[in-house]
Amino acid sequence: QVHLVESGGGSVQSGGSLTLSCSVSGFTENRYCMAWFRQVPGKEREGIAAIEDHGNPYYMTSLRQRLTITQDSYKKTVRLQITSLKPEDTAMYFCAAGRRALYTTCDFNTKSYADWGQGTQVTVSS
């Protein structure tokens, strides 16, 4: 059984940085995408960063300059660094894992990810 556990969220002032971590267990796919989504109440969950098994990263265009997604070589931990935080970054952040089909890249469709963590809250104050 796959378990994803996020950590690293919290309260931070505008302009600060955070690194979110996703601890992964039970995930055995060799061709995969790991992604970070975020959601605020009343809005759809949006994908902001993803990384595939080869290590290629993908970012939401508008956030590209402020995000860095990494994974360890044993796909046990996926991290997301967010810099220059803004109040509009306040959201619940979720880690997700999905199998990647051959000759495809990662996307930000929630249906592409079968396994999800419970989320970690990030609150940015001005």
User: Which two three-digit tokens encode residue 105?
Assistant: 């890249």
Cβ neighbors of 54 (< 8 A, separation 6 or more) are none
Question: What span, in angstroms and rounded, lies between the C-alpha atoms of 8 and 22?
Answer: 9
Amino acid identity for residue 82 in this structure: I
Instruction: Compute CA distances 59 → 50, 90, 92, 125, whole Å.
Output: 7, 18, 18, 24
Nearest to 73 by CA among 97, 46, 51: 51
pLDDT in tens, 114-123: 999 999 999 9
Residue 74's pLDDT is what?
72
pLDDT tier, 7 (very low <50, low <70, confident <90, very high otherwise): very high
pLDDT in tens, 13-52: 999 999 999 999 999 999 999 999 999 999 999 999 999 9
